[in-house]
Amino acid sequence: MIQIIKKYQWVIVLLVAVVGGGFGVFVLLMLAVDMFMLDRNGAQKVGVKEALIWSFVWFAMAMLFGAILWGWLDHTSGRERGDRVHQILSKIKDYEYYTHNKLHLFQQLDDETRDLLEGCMSNEDILFYFEPNELLFAERDILCPDGSIIRPDRVVKKKGDVIIVDFKTGKEEEKHKLQLENYKKYLFELGHQSVQAVLIYIESQSIETV
């Protein structure tokens, strides 16, 4: 979380300035209204109940701002961790490579990102796609017959079957399936007779066959 705050410190400063400035304008407006009403109606005695209600309103507004800011930071932190693991997974040839280079791969990763990567590479269902001598290519641009370019995260070959592996962060979406359906179609057009595809969601470690 500290790394995220440091990285987005200017965004946070700007957000606080904008929201804080808006809040300040609101307070000044309320003071102006209060002074106007005071001018017209004279001073009014504020009871304990009314004072408590207004104190609660201002406190609730402050807590709401804090909750929004914290939620944004937490969402950004989770997304950043997932994206970082995504990048590393695309560079791992197989689980033997991962085992031998784990310390190097773990450099400059925070504990939560390290745990997320370790969790993925400890999952037997995910390791199925990281067996030695099966990787065809990873993160490589492919020029398709219609002139379009695709870039699958990982393509492996198992007993004559070509399997496209795509890593995703965040929630499952229908567009992810459509993307892999297109990948399958293009690889078939390029001469691969048996093409399969799987989606691996990094945070949940769920695997979906497309």
Structural domain boundaries in the chain:
2-83
Distance, CA of 151 to CA of 125 (rounded, Å): 23
Per-residue pLDDT at 9: 53
pTM: 0.62
pLDDT tens digits, one per residue of 28-66: 776 676 666 555 655 566 667 776 787 777 777 777 766
Per-residue pLDDT at 36: 66
Query: Minimal CA–CA distance to 201: which of 168, 179, 173, 175?
Result: 168
* Dihedral sign (CA 55, 57, 60, 66): negative
Distance, CA of 23 to CA of 103 (rounded, Å): 48
Query: Which residues lie below 8 Å from residue 152, measured CB to CB, with a gap of 6+?
Result: 138, 139, 140, 142, 164, 165, 166, 183
Query: Minimal CA–CA distance to 135: which of 168, 95, 101?
Result: 95
The answer to whether 120 touches 148, Cβ cutoff 8 Å, is no
Q: Is the pLDDT of residue 2 over 50?
A: no
